[in-house]
Amino acid sequence: MKTFLFSFLIAAILSFSAFQNPTYKIGRLKYNGGGDWYSNRTALPNLIEFCNKNLATNFESEEVIVEAGSAEIFKYPFVYLTGHGNVTFSSLEATNLREYLTAGGFLHIDDNYGLDKFIRKEMKKVFPESDFIELPSNHQIYNQKFNFPAGLPKIHEHDGKPAQGFALIYQGRIVCFYTYECDLGNGWEDAGTYPGDNPDARQKALRMGANLIQYALTQ
């Protein structure tokens, strides 16, 4: 039933008739543990505006806050998680998040610096049988509406390491995409929000974000 619901939502999001009457939203995951799940406050509204303009999606202009253990998460085909610090999932939350993802949902985890050591451990609760694997630069996720032949763009320097895109794959489908040493969300934020941003980086970030939305809705 939930898989059917996702199919219906995605078809409506991509249809012209649905565009006439916006109904759907992107979710932001609120988690426990003390990490700043609310960071990059202007990121999703800007990404939504960019996708509605460039992909003809019909997302409402504001995100919705959703928790991993809530039944509400099944209303949103794309959920975003970010932050700098600790993340914890209870056993109930891990079970519900797994059901959401295996039923057709998509989770984008965006390390805002310092998230890595927490999120890898917590996602093991969700998919104990799976590990994150790095996607090659020629993967379809980098070649949707916009092409990134070198793979994930580097938006914020942090430690100066190369940007990497990791995936959790369930039965051949990417259910979670994890952007590391990249910080796409910083690039989605309003201009001037963080030091060193520039129009070129913001455009790359928004285009890569649109690729994620498009891939999540059509894979």
CATH for 161: 3.40.50.12140
Could you tell me the residue range of the domain that residue 101 belongs to?
Answer: 2-218
Q: What was the pLDDT predicted at 17?
A: 41
Structure tokens at 217: 């809705």
Q: What was the pLDDT predicted at 23?
A: 66
Question: Rounded to two decimals, what is the model's pTM?
Answer: 0.91
DSSP code of residue 59: B
Inter-residue contact 89 to 29 (CB < 8 Å): no
Identity at 184, one-letter amino acid code: L
Residues of the chain with pLDDT under 70: 1-23, 195-196
Structure tokens at 44: 């999703």
Q: Per residue in 134-147, is it b (16+ CB within 10 Å) or e — as a string?
A: ebeeebebbebebe
Q: What was the pLDDT predicted at 159?
A: 80
Inter-residue contact 2 to 40 (CB < 8 Å): no
Q: How many domains does the chain have?
A: 1
Q: What was the pLDDT predicted at 158?
A: 74
Q: What was the pLDDT predicted at 195?
A: 64
